[in-house]
Structure 1
Amino acid sequence: MKTIKSATLESLDAICVDVEATFTKGLPSFSIVGLASSSIQESKDRVKSALLTNDFKFPPKKITINLSPSDINKNGTHFDLSIALLIAMYDTKVKFDDFFIFAELALDGTLKDNSSIFPSILSLAKKIKDLNVLVPKSIEEKIAMIPNINVYSVKNLNEAIIFFNSKDKENYKVKQPKIPCDTLQINNELFFYNKKYELDFNDVKGQRLAKRAALISVSGNHNIIFEGSPGCGKSMIIKRLQYVMPPQTVEQILEKAKLDSLNLVEPNFDGSRVFRSPHHTSTKASIFGGGTKSSKIGEVALSNNGILFFDELPHFPKTILEAMREPLEDYKILISRVNSKVNYETKFLFACAMNPCPCGNLLSSTKQCRCNEMEITRYKSKLSDPFCDRIDLFVTMNEVNYDDKADLNSKKMHEIVLNTFKLQKQRGQKDLNGKLKDEDIKKYCVLDEEGENILNKATQNYSLSFRSINKVLKVARTIADIENSINIKKEHILEALSFRKR
């Protein structure tokens, strides 16, 4: 019996799979066992065609391929090459022990990529030191981005056979490419970011307060809601936040690439953050993830380390808005199904836009509001107090005037964000200010005497909850960082309080 190592993907984690083969006497047959999905069962025809096309004789024996462990469901077409190699080299003394093999076979023996190869290898790299993988030549650069693994690549089945017969395999080894973006080094750790501003804040005229709030939000990863009349620039500002986000670690860039692969999007490594904007008619399962048998990833998990944008916030079903409370508070979400339970991280910036009333003209100085008091109350009642308590910044935007001018572009804003990011990391923070844990708030959010007095008065006068107090402290910490202040001062607390929901 011969064995080749591979893996199957269960949600976000890879499970090691041994592809075993036996060749016994009996009527010629070819079977695959071990809870293999239909895509794996179909590999029998792809493997036969690839072998016969390349002048290999199919052994006239009873061939049994087993995917072990046999009690786990296996999915994916990347087992093709492993199965083909076991059959093509069944009578040669070759050991495959040191390699994990991933590749789909074309009918002519060419090796192909699929959506589960990159996430599987990335997951294995976190579990296994000095991992050796053999992958198709077409995806060698993408796989080589993963640190601390040895990547070998071949073009087709023939090359794969030559590779395992060869004693010198260094010719097939792939060098790790550099991530194509700018870098920032802090405390001997590299962070990556992009200076390309496809959408620029220079296009936003006026709205100084809204842009100030946007700067605070993106600098500390604070959740934010913009409220204003139609056309005042709410969505315009939010769509530009993606390009001025703080830098990322290598792990975060790879995590984004993994989620892109699972979402059937070709991953890039340009340092940009993810931006997700589901429509308000989206189902609850599409937002949070789900499925009848196995857990599928949703928008909330796909937004991790990026931005989740809810436009027309009150039009989202109340069940979705209330269900958002857990991922916004715990920064993770558990999707439970009969066959699987999966935890996803949800450390995203939650940005929302809404009108002040159903017709949108409540705050307008030129248009008359057509809504009655009951309609406005019903419209705003979609946002419960517990939901609003998880939002750091509430911004009411004015209408646009003809003579408004741009006073801040994305380049200048990004420079401020990079500086505040540097200050947070130099303090030893693992997370940005907006996602600090309770014990970290006491450590990093230090108030001076005046600031503490102001916060105590605000707590009494406005009946602030414990969560609200922490939100004010975290926002004030970011404002202090923007102003290059070591301690949180009175003016920083006052500005943070000005962004609380009234």
Structure 2
Amino acid sequence: MARTRSVALVGVTGRTVEVEADVGNGLAGIHLIGLPDTALSEARDRVRSAMVNSNYPWPDARIIVSLFPASLPKRGSQFDLAIAMAILGAAGVVPAERIAEPFFLGELGLDGRIRAVRGVLPSVLGAAKHGDVTVVVPAANSAEAVLVPDVKVVPVAHLRQLVEWLRKGDDPPKPETDECPEPPKPAAKPDNIDLADVVGQPVARRALEVCAAGGHNLWMLGPPGTGKTMLAERLPTLLPNLELDHALEVTAIHSVAGALPSSAPMMSRPPFVSPHHTATSAAIIGGGSTIVRPGAVSLAHRGVLFMDEAPEFPRHVLDALRQPLESGRVTVSRSAGSVTFPARFMLILAANPCPCAQAEDQGGTCRCTPMTRRRYLGRLSGPLLDRIDMKVTVARSTRRELLADRQFVETSETVAERVLVARERAAKRLAGTPWRSNAEIPSSVLHADYRPSAEAMHPMTSCLDSGTLTARGLDRVVRVAWTLADLADKDVPSQDETNAALSFWLGVES
């Protein structure tokens, strides 16, 4: 009998799984127990072919492989290598004590090659909870695995390579292709996208800067051709690089989703996700019949989720955003269990004023009735818009306005410097708390510790009394006011900041 260890993924959390193999008397065959799914049940044939084609004997005996804890569902092919090691240890091919402590991750090819698998980073993070551990991973996943500190990563490309190392006890094997690379440096911002490309929308550009500085949500309403999509695509260029713990979170989510580019094992820049309006609720929120995958809201974690032509999305899909916008996470429930993914993102909505998208001003030919317009924009429900911090109307600019605005256009680098200073002010103010931006401050703490003066609150309390502003909207306005104060290098928001924040929430130009 021999045992080793592997990792099962529950969402983006790694859970340790002990893999035990017993080779004994009885009718020859292999039995896999411990709630395996279809892909894992097929590991019996992959492991046998890989061992035989690597010139290792397959035990002519009754083999029982147990995956503990038995109540935890196991999915995927990343257990192949651990199962093979447990069988080889029970058969005496490799010393059983050499495989007891390391974690083994990888899918086996029929010829013995060890193939890359999804979710290596969160798996190694789960293994790292046990302290100073050794993790054996496919060579193709080595750049992703070395991102976790204080873990000894052993990259292997073939089953024979791994077995010989365990037999001899020499230095860890080197991949047959490239050596294990150094941890990557932060990625540079894209050069071909710059805020200076947008001319003629000073209010929208200012709103974008405020969103970047405080992590706020934005709704842009206007006819096509006014720069809504260009503005949204340039928001990530205003954001600073992700901090290490945030970068690991984002990279782990993309690794589980299989969306991690091989050229960039560490995602150090905030992600930008723009789903098509035909996307289903499962594609936006997350889901799956057997293996639950993260959706667009989780792929946009610590970044931007841009929904262009927002009224074209099904209403139930849009309303599904309400819960993650409040909690910063999303829970997907299926028959096999519930999985929680992180989903703290900036939501950017863009919409045309009517289905025909023709502006009434400047010679437009819109013939939509008021009822048609209300029905079209009514797809964005009131509770969803109540969670949007800022609302901006983007109108078409005349040639004279475009020419006059060119001298006031700023590059992304210039604006990003102001954003970074504002974020540093907020981080200093929030030091010692789990929050790092104004948008993350919960309502109870916001009004207890960060409530502006009575004079500054007067415009908001007046709207609250008249019913123009909801209690949730009040929280949004106060958060934006703090961001405006950070950008203005003020210690606390004054009435100027609260007036401007209230105008942004109401969608009225101040």
TM beyond 0.5: yes
1:249 CA drift (Å): 2.0
1:131 maps onto 2:125 in alignment: no
SS at match of 1:424: helix
> Which of 339, 359, 368 is equivalent to 2:365?
368
Query: Could you say if the C-alpha distance between residues 359 and 24 of structure 1 is closer, same or farther in structure 2, counting changes exceeding 3 Å?
Result: same
Q: Which amino acid aligns with 1:201?
A: L
Give the C-alpha shift of residue 105 in structure 1.
1.7
| Aligned ranges 1:173-188 → 2 under 5 Å | 177-181=182-186
Amino acid aligned to 2:212: V
TM-score, normalising length from structure 1?
Answer: 0.90
- Pick aligned residue for 2:341 from 335, 341, 344: 344
* 1:383–1:83 CA distance, 2 compared to 1 (3 A): closer
2:121 and 2:145 in contact (8 A); partners too: yes
1:281 aligns with 2:283: no
Show the counterpart of 1:254. 248
Gaps of 5+ in 1: 182-192
- Sequence identity percentage: 30
Partner of 2:118: 115
Q: 2:163 is matched with which residue?
A: 161
Shift of the alpha carbon at 1:341? Answer: 1.6
Is the Cα–Cα contact under 8 Å of residues 288 and 299 in structure 1 kept in the other structure?
yes
CA drift at 1:446: 4.7
Aligned counterparts, 1:197-212, within 5 A: 197-212=191-206
Q: What one-letter code is carried by the residue in structure 1 that aligns with 2:137?
A: V
2:270–2:304 Cα contact (<8 Å) kept: yes
Q: What is the CA distance between 1:395 and its match in structure 2?
A: 0.3
Moved more, 131-140 or 456-465: 456-465
Partner of 1:318: 315
How many Å apart are 1:414 and its aligned residue?
Answer: 1.1
The one-character-per-residue Cα deviations of 1:293-348 (angstroms, maximum 9, x if unpaired) are 66443222222211111111122222222332222222222222332122232211
Deviation of the 1:195 alpha carbon: 3.6
Please state how far the C-alpha of 1:292 moved relative to its aligned partner.
Answer: 4.8
Secondary structure at 1:500's aligned position in 2? helix
User: TM-score, normalised on structure 2?
Assistant: 0.89
- Equivalent position amino acid for 1:423 in 2: R
Superposition deviation, residue 156 in structure 1 = 1.7
Structure 1, residues 76-102: CA drift from partner, whole Å, max 9, x if none? 222222222233342254312221111
Question: Quick one: which amino acid aligns to residue 103 of structure 2?
Answer: F
- The 2-side partners of 1:202 and 1:131 are apart by 49
Q: Which deviates the most, 15-24 or 318-327?
A: 318-327
Alpha-carbon deviations, 1:107-154, whole Å to 9, x = none? 2222211113333223343x4322321112222221010123221222
> Equivalent residue for 1:71?
71
> How many angstroms does 1:11 deviate by?
2.7
Q: Find the counterpart in structure 1 of residue 472 from structure 2.
A: 467
**Amino acid across the alignment from 1:60:** D
Aligned to 2:14: 14
Assess if the C-alpha contact under 8 Å between 1:35 and 1:74 holds in 2: yes
Q: Flag the 1:40–1:294 CA change in 2: closer, same or farther, 3 A.
A: closer
Question: SS at 2:287's partner residue?
Answer: coil
Q: 1:104 aligns with which of 85, 96, 107?
A: 107
* Partner of residue 477, structure 1: 482
Q: Distance in 2 between matches of 1:361 and 1:232?
A: 12
The aligned amino acid for 2:202 is R
Does the 8 Å contact 1:294/1:337 carry over to 2?
no
Q: What does residue 51 of structure 2 align with? A: 51
Distance 1:279 1:196 in 2: 22
Pair 1:399 & 2:402 matched: no
Q: Is this contact kept in 2: 1:451–1:490, CA < 8 A?
A: yes
- Cα 1:157–1:473 shift into 2, 3 Å: same
Question: What code does the residue aligned with 2:397 have?
Answer: V
For each residue in 1:196-216, what CA deviation from the matched residue of structure 2 results, as whole angstroms up to 9, or x when unmatched? 344111111120110000100
Output the CA distance in 2 between the equivalents of 1:233 and 1:380. Answer: 19
Alpha carbons 2:46, 2:108 under 8 Å: kept: yes
Aligned CA distance change for structure 1 residues 93 and 327 (closer, same or farther; 3 Å): closer
Greater shift after overlay, 24-33 or 365-374? 24-33
Give me the whole-angstrom Cα distance separating, in 1, the residues matched to 2:28 and 2:330: 50
Task: Give the RMSD, CA atoms, in angstroms.
Answer: 2.5
Indicate which of 257, 267, 271 corresponds to 1:263. Answer: 257
The answer as to whether partners of 1:295 and 1:340 remain within 8 angstroms in 2 is no
Conservation of the 8 A alpha-carbon contact between 1:197 and 1:410 = no
Following the alignment from structure 1 to structure 2, what is the Cα–Cα distance between the partners of residues 337 and 84?
31
Q: 1:139 to 1:332 in 2, by over 3 A?
A: closer
Secondary structure of residue in 2 paired with 1:251: helix
Higher mean C-alpha displacement, 361-370 vs 484-493:
361-370
Which residue identity is paired with 2:242?
Answer: Q
The count of corresponding residues between Structure 1 and Structure 2 is 490
**2:462 matched to which residue of 1?**
457
Q: Alpha carbons of 1:445 and 1:206: their partners in 2 closer, same or farther (altered >3 Å)?
A: farther
Q: Which residue of 1 aligns with 2:35?
A: 35
**Amino acid in structure 1 at the alignment position of 2:141:** I
Question: Any stretches of 5+ residues in structure 2 without a counterpart?
Answer: none
Letter in 2 for 1:463: T
Indicate how the Cα distance of structure 1 residues 160 and 458 shifts in structure 2: closer, same or farther if over 3 A, else same: same
User: 200, 208, 211: which one pairs with 1:214?
Assistant: 208
Of residues 488, 497, 501, the one that matches 1:496 is 501
Please tell me whether the aligned partners of residues 332 and 347 of structure 1 are also in contact (alpha carbons under 8 angstroms).
yes
**Secondary structure of 2:17's partner?**
strand
Q: 3-state DSSP class of the match of 1:76?
A: coil
